[in-house]
């Protein structure tokens, strides 16, 4: 298939953005083998969505590779090109039950997973990045195994509050939601950086300089209202990929 016919596929720009996010996540080593998944809803109620194909490495995913799925289609896993069953269980459940979660990104990135492995998986506001997530995450304390459909529905039930845009998945990893690919990837990136700072700070054994509630809350609101930063971030990443001759947008 040539580039022109690729561009005739539905939701082409959304596909390109999602493919770029896959490529950059791999470059940052925030993926895990072929086990993690991103999805993006493309209809108003969020039930039809794009997602990566089964067992494809993030560094190889192209815009034209992405699957178009329907969260209400009970026959999805019978298709020869069915997605990974845990991806379907988790992302299908979220897109079916949480219409505000337009984009969903789930990874086992190192520092977020370390945080998810601690007895206390909360992220204190010790710097600007971590304060960005103040009062904007939920900790899943009930890990029940691989995210097949029942586990996926349980996880989706924790995302009913649109203000909670990050789920720290205890004993598992992290899941981030947002309105667009740019919004969600930017949030995923900064959450991993915040976790890295926190874990490294813990390793010093020194007392933490935790921001007071009012300043943390103010910083969180300011960061989440900051205009255009997520879009500019993704556009710059796509520009780098384009300059390098990447085939992500094919």
Give the pair of three-digit tokens for residue 246.
């990447």
Question: C-alpha angle 176/164/67, rounded to 5°?
Answer: 35
Q: Please indicate, yes or no, if residue 150 is contained in any of the structural domains.
A: yes
Q: Please indicate, yes or no, if residue 67 is contained in any of the structural domains.
A: yes
Q: Please indicate, yes or no, if residue 102 is contained in any of the structural domains.
A: yes
Residue 145, burial from CB neighbour count under 10 angstroms (0-12, 13-18, 19+): exposed
Q: Please indicate, yes or no, if residue 51 is contained in any of the structural domains.
A: yes
Q: What string of pLDDT tens digits covers the 250 residues of the chain?
A: 334 446 668 999 999 999 999 999 999 999 999 999 999 999 999 999 999 999 999 999 999 999 999 999 999 999 999 999 999 999 999 999 999 999 999 999 999 999 999 999 999 999 999 999 999 999 999 998 887 878 999 999 999 999 999 999 999 999 999 999 999 999 999 999 999 999 999 999 999 999 999 999 999 999 999 889 999 999 999 999 999 999 999 9
Distance between CA atoms of residues 66 and 19, nearest Å: 8
Q: 109, 192 in Cβ contact below 8 A?
A: yes
Q: What is the pTM of this model?
A: 0.94
Residue 15, burial from CB neighbour count under 10 angstroms (0-12, 13-18, 19+): buried
Q: What is the pLDDT at residue 1?
A: 35
Q: Please indicate, yes or no, if residue 146 is contained in any of the structural domains.
A: yes
DSSP string for residues in 102-133:
-EEEEE--HHHHHHHTSSS------SHHHHHT
Q: How many domains, the chain? A: 1
Q: Please indicate, yes or no, if residue 131 is contained in any of the structural domains.
A: yes
Range of the domain at 82: 3-243
Distance between CA atoms of residues 231 and 57, nearest Å: 24
Distance between CA atoms of residues 246 and 197, nearest Å: 31
The H or E element containing residue 229 is helix 229-243
Q: 21, 105 in Cβ contact below 8 A?
A: yes
CATH number of the domain where residue 181 is located: 3.40.225.10
Q: Please indicate, yes or no, if residue 172 is contained in any of the structural domains.
A: yes
Distance between CA atoms of residues 81 and 78, nearest Å: 8
Q: Please indicate, yes or no, if residue 248 is contained in any of the structural domains.
A: no
Under 8 Å CB-to-CB from 158, ≥6 apart: which residues? 138, 140, 164, 167
């Amino acid at each position: 298939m040539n580039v022109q016919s690729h561009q005739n596929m539905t939701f082409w720009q959304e596909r390109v953005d999602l493919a770029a996010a896959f490529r950059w996540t791999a470059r940052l080593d925030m993926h895990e083998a072929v086990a993690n998944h991103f999805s993006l809803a493309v209809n108003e109620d969020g039930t039809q969505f794009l997602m990566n194909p089964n067992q494809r490495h993030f560094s190889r995913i192209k815009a034209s590779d992405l699957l178009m799925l329907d969260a209400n289609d009970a026959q999805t896993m019978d298709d020869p090109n069915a997605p990974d069953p845990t991806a379907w269980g988790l992302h299908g459940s979220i897109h079916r039950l949480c219409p505000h979660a337009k984009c969903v990104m789930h990874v086992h990135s190192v520092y977020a997973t370390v945080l998810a492995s601690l007895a206390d998986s909360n992220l204190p506001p010790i710097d600007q990045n971590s304060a960005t997530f103040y009062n904007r995450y939920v900790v899943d304390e009930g890990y029940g195994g691989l995210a097949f459909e029942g586990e996926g529905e349980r996880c989706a039930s924790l995302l009913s509050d649109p203000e909670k845009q990050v789920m720290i998945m205890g004993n598992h990893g992290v899941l981030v939601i947002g309105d667009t690919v740019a919004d969600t990837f930017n949030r995923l990136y900064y959450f991993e950086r915040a976790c890295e700072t926190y874990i490294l700070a813990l390793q010093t054994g020194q007392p933490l300089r935790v921001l007071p509630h009012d300043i943390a809350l103010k910083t969180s609101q300011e960061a989440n209202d900051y205009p255009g930063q997520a879009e500019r971030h993704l556009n710059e990443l796509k520009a780098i990929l384009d300059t390098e001759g990447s085939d992500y947008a094919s």
